[in-house]
Structure 1
């Protein structure tokens, strides 16, 4: 068995698509399929149900947990061996999303430098599922992410420590009309005409947060998806152009709201609170990572977060 087979299987479990997983792993579809078959032959049982939609067998679910845990331990051990004698120069590896990298990370990193002294960091951005896979596989030390149903499902509390760093809101926004009122307003009820909606792609962490909020409303909103993107900034630009109604993190729309390019399109009951959180695999005991983590935990206890 080869370690890359474990990485292949984890990617397949994440995407639930042989073609997408093969593309993400930079191999051809047939070659990827042969790797998965070789892994099943080595394991002695079928790991996936070869039907649409693709799913894992009970053995596959068991193997996924074992593969993620084993690969994380091996990657952490390799990283520790590679940094012997030079750990002070090794950057702290952080996975996050593009929006947090732009709107939250710079100020937060400055606060860490003031709190713990200057230290190098290696920041990698991606969609939420890929970022979660990186911390699960031990490719990064910390995961900075919008908390969502996805993070609660994929980040096992037995394997990961989690810490809330800040509280944020997602608000409904629209381009203004000639009178400064929302061009698109939230409507509900059976007789309401549908409103074009700028939606989140499945790879965005906040998709699940928004879906839960909309499902819990007393009346179904009359929304018609007219645009979908895997970038909050792309949705922001479409909202500013008047393409539809959008829910976006306040940190993303703050400047546009102040400039009058967007206006709030709903009351306080339509705002959705969520957390910005930090996660660490308990198997990662790197000295600098642990010093930062324990310091942040102490700060949270003092402030009551």
Structure 2
């Protein structure tokens, strides 16, 4: 639990209203409500009875109120003590990036930000949903991730600024020996390396690809992992076929270590976006945002 999350809960307990708590926390009501909802999703449980007027905390929250208040005081005291011992500490900008981007595109962002602004940059590797939660909680300043080029339903419901940074493709690929075998045996099952359905790529592949696969030939799920790099290694060793961003596998494609599978397995267009909370427009990181979104484009 982050200090900010506990302070949000205590603000609601004090005011008995999401609207008043949002004002006390210097946020819009819609953004604060989404922040509480995201926290509840993270914890896997509801914190407040929203049907009650005024808003009523659930028993599990009330039982922890005293401990939360004590914890906030201790953390604030600790933070002040640590800050006092490092007056010359450098500002750190935090970027939450999806797993594949943390090693492909994020390094360029780090280089550009440090060269232009002299800032230290912390890169958090996270799934798209986790990156969004990091933004909502204030844990990250920016988030860098893929979204479907055809839809941005999730971001459209959030109080965020979204800047397109490039295009990519999610490609179905296999190692050459497996690719050759699948072409010569048109009824053989597809050995799949999948993403779990609770991560973005998993939902995307399931929605876009599963119907086509079932029409063409049987599926055999060999392994499942949320990490693109793990999918890549399994595909390279011939364990199965998998969907990977072109930006992640461009070298392997050029070297002939991977081959793109033909129809009926189409590629999926992706859009690379940089995201921040809209309330950060006047923050000290605004110049960094303006620089990145106006002068920098990332591509596959």
Report TM bin, short chain. Answer: 0.5 to 0.7
TM-score by length of 1: 0.64
Show the 5 A alignment for 1:72-111.
89-111=90-112
Matched with 1:277 is: 273
For residue 256 of structure 1, what is the aligned residue in structure 2? Answer: 252
State the Cα distance separating 1:200 from its structure 2 match.
1.0
Tell me the C-alpha RMSD between the 2 structures: 4.4
Q: Which residue of 1 aligns with 2:133?
A: 133
- Tell me the CA shift for residue 277 of structure 1: 0.7
Match of 1:206 in 2: 201
1:35-74 pair list within 5 angstroms? 36=47, 43-44=55-56
Q: Distance in 1 between matches of 2:210 and 2:257?
A: 29
Partner residue of 1:292 out of 283, 288, 293: 288
Give the direction of change, closer, same or farther, for the CA distance of 1:87–1:167 in structure 2 (3 Å limit).
farther
Residue 182 and residue 88 in structure 1: after superposition, are their counterparts in 2 closer, same or farther (change >3 A)?
farther
User: Which consecutive residues of structure 1, in runs of 5 or more, have no partner in the other structure?
Assistant: 19-32, 48-77
* Contact kept? 1:146, 1:206, Cα under 8 Å: no
- 1:13 is aligned, of 33, 41, 48, to 41
Given the superposition, is the C-alpha separation of residues 196 and 156 from structure 1 closer, same or farther in structure 2, using an over 3 Å criterion? Answer: same
Cα distance, 1:106 vs structure 2: 1.0
Tell me by how many angstroms 1:250 deviates.
1.3
Q: Is the 8 A contact 1:174 1:184 kept in 2?
A: no
Structure 1 residue 159: Cα displacement: 0.9
Change (3 A) 1:264 1:88: same
1:213-260 CA distances to partner (integer Å, 9 max, x unpaired)? 326859834333221101111111111121111111112222322333
- Contact 1:92 1:121 (C-alpha < 8 Å) held by counterparts: yes
Deviations 1:46-84 (A, max 9, x none): 89xxxxxxxxxxxxxxxxxxxxxxxxxxxxxx9xxx89x
Contact 1:161 1:280 in 2 (8 A): yes
Q: TM-score, normalised by structure 2?
A: 0.65
Matches within 5 A, 1:107-186: 107-113=108-114, 116-148=116-148, 152-156=152-156, 159-177=159-177, 181-185=179-183
Change (3 A) 1:269 1:2: closer
**How many residue pairs get matched?**
247
The 3-state SS of whatever aligns with 2:161 is strand
Partner of 2:130, secondary structure, is helix
Structure 2 residue runs without a partner (length 5+): 11-34, 60-78
Q: For each residue in 1:141-162, what CA deviation from the matched residue of structure 2 results, as whole angstroms up to 9, or x when unmatched? A: 101111149x934434561000
Find the aligned partners of 1:282 and 1:193 in 2 and give their Cα distance. Answer: 50
1:11-52 Cα deviation digits (max 9, x unpaired)? 44257x45xxxxxxxxxxxxxx8xx479998833889xxxxx
